[in-house]
Amino acid sequence: MSEVKNLKYYIETWGCQMNEEDSEKLSGMLKRIGYTKTEAKEEASIILFNTCCVRENAENKVYGNLGLLKKLKKNNPDLVIGICGCMMQQKGMADKILKEFPYVDIIFGTHNSYKFPEYLNRVKTEGVQVKEIFDKETEIIEGIPVDRESSIKAFVTIMYGCNNFCTYCVVPYVRGRERSRRPEEIEKEIKELVAQGYKEITLLGQNVNSYGKGLEEEIDFAKLLRRINEIEGLERVRFMTSHPKDLTEDVIMAIKECDKLCEQIHLPVQSGSDEILKKMNRHYDREKYMSLIKKIKEEIPECSITTDIIVGFPGETEENFLDTLNLCKEVGYDSAFTFIYSRRNHTPADRMENQVPDDVKHERFNRLVDVINKGVINGNKVYEGRTVEVLVEGPSKNDETKLMGRTRNGRLVNFPGDSSMIGKLVNVHINRAQPFSLLGEIVE
């Protein structure tokens, strides 16, 4: 495709880190053909929406935003509007979008985003509308340029898709089956990042603990972690997400023994009730989950544990919900993503009886958030008076005179300092714990 001059693009991303990473690739492809990024829709020649469909409100936001583009397209008929991501993989969605928002130029799904430059070329040279969605996943495409948001920390996807079919979740339908990247490709990408000055990487996958299945080489996730730990110049490694049914002792021991692996595990519990876990098709019970927590706390006392929880799953009784509440109290999570159950078309849970009324869901949600927040606040208090290692990420969000960074176990720390420290590891003495962050000062 020919180079373009002075043309700008705008990308909006909804959803998880996986989508963020896909957007960094879409951005990388656009930069490679000469476009520059803008944060203002009004000055863009291309507007791209990368969508999420995990919950209904994520979809509603996309409709609202697409509606607002009508006026922009009227004022500038050359504007190219593209829409992609998980929502487009749902049956009938692309046609629905084209019917309601006929001014959309390009529609593609999660499996063919590497073809975006080709679609754009067709729209621009032939003046056609392009809609292409692949039903099935393709081979992993390597070598797509990535335009990363940060110059200090980076996401590296190690596997795509999910085989678990939790009954509430659309991800396996829109992201396809599990495929692992070859370890050499992962190492190559990380080494290139280190050469560019990156200090921290987060390995991404829907279920990182089943990494390696189907590869020629005999490798599992723990072995991959140990190999990555050998990469010189890299400071910190994190990963997400771990499915409790697949988290092995080997992985826990790798975190304990490898200096670059940060003491942090994201271990979604979803519910504390055995009855609900079964209906969710999670393949573990409360006892198994709590035994993992015990093991992690015994082996790695500094480890922060975070989670995802859904309230109001079909059939959830007050008693089932209380099981979730007391599990949260018992674990004392360092942070949690809490969700109200959202009915998703074509998933088994959508067809289940006894859907929980909205007011009950909201009331339980508020009670859950209270319990989680109390745990987080207590967890932060423990850090008062301690000195912790912080990777400096940039200026603080709310106070330009301060810097912000994270501890190895993921806690947010604010402290005075100048921009020359950005990207460095510093020791910070914590003077005060705030509810959701720590305040301190650099010590030698």
Asked whether the beta carbons of 120 and 80 are under 8 A apart, the reply is yes
Distance from C-alpha of 420 to C-alpha of 282, rounded to nearest angstrom? 47
13-52 residues near ligand 5AD, rule: CB under 6 A: none
User: Is 361 an interacting residue with respect to ligand 5AD (CB under 6 A)?
Assistant: no
Distance from C-alpha of 404 to C-alpha of 115, rounded to nearest angstrom? 38
* Beta-strand relationship, 304-311 and 335-340: parallel
Q: Is 162 annotated as a binding residue?
A: yes
Residue from 108, 168, 284, 333 that binds ligand 5AD (CB under 6 A)?
168
Nearer to ligand 5AD, 335 or 396 (CB): 335
Q: Which does 211 bind (CB under 5 to 8 A by kind): ligand SF4, ligand 5AD, none?
A: none
- Determine the straight-line distance between the first and last CA of the chain, rounded to whole angstroms: 53
Nearer to ligand 5AD, 15 or 423 (CB): 15
Nearer to ligand SF4, 116 or 160 (CB): 160
User: Is 341 an interacting residue with respect to ligand 5AD (CB under 6 A)?
Assistant: yes
**Residues 118, 124, 125, CA angle at the centre, nearest 5°?**
90
User: Is 277 an interacting residue with respect to ligand SF4 (CB under 6 A)?
Assistant: no
User: Is 167 an interacting residue with respect to ligand 5AD (CB under 6 A)?
Assistant: no
Asked whether the beta carbons of 14 and 57 are under 8 A apart, the reply is no
Q: Which does 289 bind (CB under 5 to 8 A by kind): ligand 5AD, ligand SF4, none?
A: none
Please report, for residues 41, 320, 322, 371, 420, the alpha-carbon distance to residue 337 in angstroms, rounded to integers and kept in the order given.
Answer: 30, 19, 18, 13, 33
**Residues 71, 77, 81, CA angle at the centre, nearest 5°?**
75
User: Is 261 an interacting residue with respect to ligand 5AD (CB under 6 A)?
Assistant: no
Asked whether the beta carbons of 81 and 115 are under 8 A apart, the reply is no
User: Is 308 an interacting residue with respect to ligand 5AD (CB under 6 A)?
Assistant: yes
Distance from C-alpha of 283 to C-alpha of 278, rounded to nearest angstrom? 7
Nearer to ligand 5AD, 44 or 265 (CB): 265
Distance from C-alpha of 76 to C-alpha of 46, rounded to nearest angstrom? 11
Residues in the chain, overall count: 444
Find all residues with CB under 8 Å of 47, minimum gap 6, and list them.
9, 10, 12, 41, 69, 72, 79, 80, 81, 82
Which range touches ligand SF4 (CB under 6 A), out of 66-74, 163-171, 258-266, 410-418? 163-171
Residue from 110, 157, 210, 342 that binds ligand 5AD (CB under 6 A)?
342
168-187 residues near ligand SF4, rule: CB under 6 A: 169, 171-172
| Residue 185 beta carbon to ligand SF4: minimum distance, rounded to whole angstroms | 22
Q: Is 303 annotated as a binding residue?
A: no
Nearer to ligand 5AD, 162 or 392 (CB): 162
Helix (H, G, I), strand (E, B) or coil at 431: strand
Residue from 104, 252, 277, 310 that binds ligand 5AD (CB under 6 A)?
310
Tell me which residue has tokens 């795509």. 160
Q: Which does 153 bind (CB under 5 to 8 A by kind): ligand 5AD, ligand SF4, none?
A: none
Find all residues with CB under 8 Å of 407, minimum gap 6, and list them.
388, 389, 390, 413, 438
Distance from C-alpha of 197 to C-alpha of 384, rounded to nearest angstrom? 31
Distance from C-alpha of 423 to C-alpha of 401, rounded to nearest angstrom? 17
Asked whether the beta carbons of 50 and 26 are under 8 A apart, the reply is yes
User: Is 348 an interacting residue with respect to ligand SF4 (CB under 6 A)?
Assistant: no
Number of residues that bind ligand 5AD (CB under 6 A): 12
User: Is 164 an interacting residue with respect to ligand SF4 (CB under 6 A)?
Assistant: yes
Side-chain-facing half-sphere of 367: CA atoms under 13 Å:
16
Residue from 181, 236, 243, 406 that binds ligand SF4 (CB under 6 A)?
243
Q: Which does 344 bind (CB under 5 to 8 A by kind): ligand 5AD, ligand SF4, none?
A: ligand 5AD
193-222 residues near ligand SF4, rule: CB under 6 A: 206-207
Residue from 9, 14, 52, 55 that binds ligand 5AD (CB under 6 A)?
55
Find all residues with CB under 8 Å of 74, minimum gap 6, and list them.
none
Please enumerate, by residue number, every residue annotated as part of a binding site for [4Fe-4S] cluster.
Answer: 16, 52, 86, 162, 166, 169
Please enumerate, by residue number, every residue annotated as part of a binding site.
Answer: 16, 52, 86, 162, 166, 169
Report the interface residues with ligand 5AD, using CB under 6 A. Answer: 54-55, 168-169, 268, 270, 308, 310, 339, 341-342, 344
Report the interface residues with ligand SF4, using CB under 6 A. Answer: 162, 164-166, 169, 171-172, 206-207, 243
